[in-house]
Amino acid sequence: MLNRIPTSTFNWIFLIGIALLFIELFFFNSGLVFTLLLFSFLSFIGRKNYHKTIGKVLFWVGIIILFLTIINMLAVRFLVIAAIALFFIHYKKSTDEPEKVDPANSRHQQGTGASQTHENLVYVEPLFRNRFFGSEKTSEKPYQWRDINVHGGFGDKIIDLSNTVLPDDPVISIRQVVGNVKIYVPYDVEVSILHSSLFGRATIFNKKHLQLFNQSLSYQTEDYGTGAPRVKIVTSLMSGDIEVKRI
Taken in order 65, 70, 71, 74, is the CA torsion positive or negative?
positive
In a domain, 115, yes or no: no
Q: Report the distance separating Cα 132 and Cα 212, nearest Å.
A: 23
Give the model's pLDDT for residue 102.
55
Each residue's pLDDT tens digit, 2-52 = 555 666 677 677 788 888 888 887 777 777 778 888 888 888 888 888 888
Considering its fold, how many domains does the chain have in total? Answer: 2
Each residue's pLDDT tens digit, 84-128 = 887 787 777 766 666 555 555 544 445 544 455 677 777 778 888
String of DSSP letters for 174-215: EEEEE--EEEEE-TT-EEEEEEEEEEEEEEETTEEEEEEEEE
In a domain, 104, yes or no: no
Which are the contacts of 130, defined by CB distance < 8 A and separation ≥ 6?
150, 151, 152
In a domain, 14, yes or no: yes
Q: Please provide the size of the chain in residues.
A: 247
Residues 238, 156 share a domain: yes
Q: What is the pTM of this model?
A: 0.60
Q: Report the distance separating Cα 88 and Cα 141, nearest Å.
A: 48
Q: Domain limits at 174? A: 136-246
174 touches 181 (CB < 8 A): yes
In a domain, 162, yes or no: yes
Residues 187, 88 share a domain: no
Residues 203, 143 share a domain: yes
Give the model's pLDDT for residue 231.
94
Domain stop point among 96, 112, 146? 96
Strands 157-160 and 136-137: parallel
Q: Report the distance separating Cα 184 and Cα 177, nearest Å.
A: 21
Each residue's pLDDT tens digit, 159-212 = 999 999 998 889 999 998 888 899 999 999 999 999 998 888 899 999 999 888
Which are the contacts of 51, defined by CB distance < 8 A and separation ≥ 6?
none
Domain stop point among 96, 127, 161? 96
CA 239 to mean position of chain CA atoms: 13
Provide, rounded to the nearest whole percent, the portion of the chain with pLDDT above 90.
25
In a domain, 125, yes or no: no
- CA-to-CA separations, 217 to 70, 74, 95, 138, 182, in angstroms, rounded: 31, 35, 53, 25, 16
Residues 150, 238 share a domain: yes
Q: Report the distance separating Cα 17 and Cα 26, nearest Å.
A: 14
Domain stop point among 31, 66, 96? 96
Residues 183, 242 share a domain: yes
